[in-house]
């Protein structure tokens, strides 16, 4: 069961007279019949004693009793049983004291994450009724919900994530505590919020996860721009599914299980600009919501301190998602430029779920798929990174054009002619420039 290397660590500790057990999520997953990912080990051995027993260790959190033991390049966290002191920063204890298995269990977050397994005795050790809550499919904070939340405010979001991930109900006092303390989520670092939100977007039942975030008021605390999607009506002829909130949740639910984080966030934010651009004329309209959404998405992701590369891709998804409606009317050069957007497969996937979660029409999606097949035969006139650069700025200077805005216009025009398969050589390009621009040099 579990892992031979983890078993070796437990056995080594036991041979020296220490108690050692598997702890937390790996025990929960085992009881649920799931394959455990990380196997954490808890013990009454002190950090120095752990380091002395194993030749390769890393003191990642020695002050908190955590030592990483490395066996054949595989890492295992081995933590000394502990009790935590006050949490003045709402994240980490100000101090810890090494204690017993029973005390260690009580300082953990959820009952289902507070169980241990002794692989030598082949016995579950449960002092927080985690097994009962697993059987009853219940998410419950250990002990006082308010105290557990006070210790680490991220537990507010973890309650929601585990409930949605496992399909469990949230015990009433735990749910009430999350609602009462929801606004306090803003007191922890935005990086931790962003990471937890990404994990929530990855769960299979995304609709329930986001509805729980909304109902508990957590979403109101750190993503107020999303909250106003609920109740933002859409034209029924294009969106029979309902308002912007319903549409967004449906779109997310239709993504493949292996969707990238950028695609998850791009889908989540693709219509964030709709509430602020909604108008009622001949029908409900959202003119320019893609442009507005681009600005809002960038502001949100910067606030959550995502990387520039991550932000660039998500913003591109939001900004370009409406361009699919015009693909059958685009010039060939414009269409090819569109298809050359980085990670275009994500744009295609967003468009697919955008359509399937609303009117259901996939004609533009199929049009692009067919064009992509056609263009694959001629990568030298389709892929921008394979397109020969047949004219440069030096050529334009030699022709008498001073540096300026016209430079870029001419170079892009020549590139368009290549994409349109009208120009193939440098001589043809120079002749085209003379014929087209010679009367109006800057």
Summarised one tens digit per residue, pLDDT across range 25-46 is: 999 999 999 988 889 999 999 9
Distances (CA, A) of 243 to 229, 235, 236, 306, 402: 7, 9, 9, 28, 53
The CATH number of whichever domain residue 357 belongs to comes to 1.10.3210
Same domain, 120 and 8: yes
The alpha carbon of residue 250 and the mean position of all alpha carbons in its chain are separated, in whole angstroms, by 17
Q: How many residues does the chain have?
A: 442
For residue 30, being part of any structural domain is answered with yes
Tell me what pLDDT residue 3 has.
83
Domain-embedded: residue 38: yes
Q: Is residue 386 part of a domain?
A: no
Domain boundary among 82, 108, 135: 135
Per-residue confidence band for 89, with pLDDT thresholds at 50, 70 and 90: low
Is 380 within a domain? no
Point out the domain boundary residue: 221, 251, 274: 221
In terms of pLDDT, which residue wins out, 440 or 43?
43
Task: Compare 143 and 95 and report the one with higher pLDDT.
Answer: 143
Same-domain pairing of 2 and 118? yes
Instruction: Say if 182 falls within a structural domain.
Output: yes
Torsion sign, CA atoms 218, 219, 223, 225: negative
Higher-confidence position of 120 and 402 = 120
Q: Per-residue pLDDT for 392 more than 50? A: yes
| Domain of residue 40, CATH code | 3.30.460.10
231 within domain boundaries = yes
Examine the domain organization and report whether 337 and 283 are in the same domain.
Answer: yes
Residue 212 and residue 170 in one domain: yes
Greater confidence, 404 or 188?
188
Residue 61: pLDDT band (50, 70, 90) is confident
Number of domains observed in the structure of the chain: 4
Identify the pLDDT of residue 442. 43
Residue 93, phi then psi, degrees to nearest 5: -70, 145
- 209 and 305 both lie in a single domain: no
Mean pLDDT throughout 330-342?
A: 95
Tell me: do 149 and 277 sit in the same domain: no
Domain assignment present for 388: no
Residues contacting 411, CB < 8 A, separation 6+: 391, 392, 393, 396
Is a pLDDT exceeding 70 seen at residue 94?
no
Burial of 321 (0-12, 13-18, 19+ CB in 10 A): buried
Q: Are residues 175 and 210 located together in one domain of the fold?
A: yes
Q: What is the CATH number of the domain that holds 193?
A: 1.10.110.30
| 254 and 125 together in one domain | no
Q: Residues 94, 146: one domain?
A: no
The answer to whether residues 45 and 104 belong to one domain is yes
Name the residue among 38, 41, 36, 40 with its Cα closest to residue 18. Answer: 41
- So what's the pLDDT on residue 377? 86
Q: What is the arithmetic mean of pLDDT over 97-111?
A: 93
Please, where are the H alpha helices in 223-307?
224-227, 244-253, 261-269, 274-277, 289-303
Q: Judge whether residue 335 has pLDDT over 70.
A: yes
- pLDDT at position 216 is 98
> Residue 433 is inside which H or E element, if any?
helix 426-437
Q: What is the domain range of residue 193?
A: 137-221
Phi and psi at 191, nearest 5°, equal -60, -40
Where residue 60 falls among pLDDT bands split at 50, 70, 90? confident
What's residue 441's pLDDT?
43
Does 251 lie in the same domain as 200?
A: no
Domain stops at, among 374, 402, 417 = 374
């Amino acid at each position: 069961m579990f892992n031979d290397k983890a078993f070796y660590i437990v056995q080594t500790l036991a041979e020296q007279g220490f108690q050692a057990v598997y702890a937390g999520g790996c025990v929960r997953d085992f009881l649920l019949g799931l394959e455990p990912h990380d196997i954490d080990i808890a013990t009454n051995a002190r950090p120095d004693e752990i380091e002395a027993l194993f030749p390769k260790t890393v003191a990642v959190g020695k002050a908190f009793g955590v030592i990483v033991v490395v066996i054949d390049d595989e890492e295992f966290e081995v933590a000394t049983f502990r009790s935590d002191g006050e949490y003045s920063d709402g994240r980490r204890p100000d101090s810890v004291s090494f204690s017993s298995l029973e005390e260690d269990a009580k300082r953990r977050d959820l009952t289902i994450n507070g169980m241990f397994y002794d692989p030598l005795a082949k016995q579950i050790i449960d002092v927080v009724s985690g097994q009962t809550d697993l059987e009853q499919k219940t998410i419950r904070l250990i002990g006082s919900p308010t105290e557990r939340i006070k210790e680490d405010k991220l537990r507010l979001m973890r309650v929601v994530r585990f409930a949605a991930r496992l399909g469990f109900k949230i015990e009433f006092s735990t749910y009430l505590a999350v609602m009462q303390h929801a606004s306090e989520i803003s007191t922890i670092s935005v990086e931790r919020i962003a990471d937890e939100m990404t994990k929530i977007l990855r769960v299979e039942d995304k609709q329930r996860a986001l509805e729980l975030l909304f109902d508990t008021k957590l979403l109101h605390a750190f993503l107020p721009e999303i909250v106003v999607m609920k109740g933002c009506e859409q034209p029924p002829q294009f969106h029979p599914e309902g308002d912007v909130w319903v549409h967004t949740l449906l779109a997310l639910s239709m993504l493949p299980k292996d969707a990238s984080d950028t695609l998850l966030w791009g889908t989540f934010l693709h219509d964030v600009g709709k509430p602020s651009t909604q108008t009622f004329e001949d029908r409900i309209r959202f003119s320019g919501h893609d442009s507005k959404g681009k600005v809002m998405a960038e502001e949100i992701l910067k606030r959550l301190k995502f990387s520039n590369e991550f932000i660039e891709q998500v913003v591109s998804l939001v900004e370009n998602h409406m361009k699919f409606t015009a693909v059958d009317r685009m010039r060939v050069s414009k269409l090819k430029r569109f298809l050359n957007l980085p990670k275009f497969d994500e744009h295609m996937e967003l468009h697919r779920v955008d359509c399937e979660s609303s009117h259901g029409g996939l004609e533009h999606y199929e049009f692009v798929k067919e064009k992509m097949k056609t263009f694959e035969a001629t990568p030298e006139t389709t892929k921008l990174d394979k397109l020969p650069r047949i004219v440069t700025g030096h050529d334009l200077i030699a022709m008498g054009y001073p540096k300026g805005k016209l430079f870029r216009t001419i170079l892009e025009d020549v590139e368009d002619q290549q994409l349109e398969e009208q120009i193939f050589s440098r001589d043809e390009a120079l002749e085209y420039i003379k014929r087209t621009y010679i009367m109006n040099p800057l």
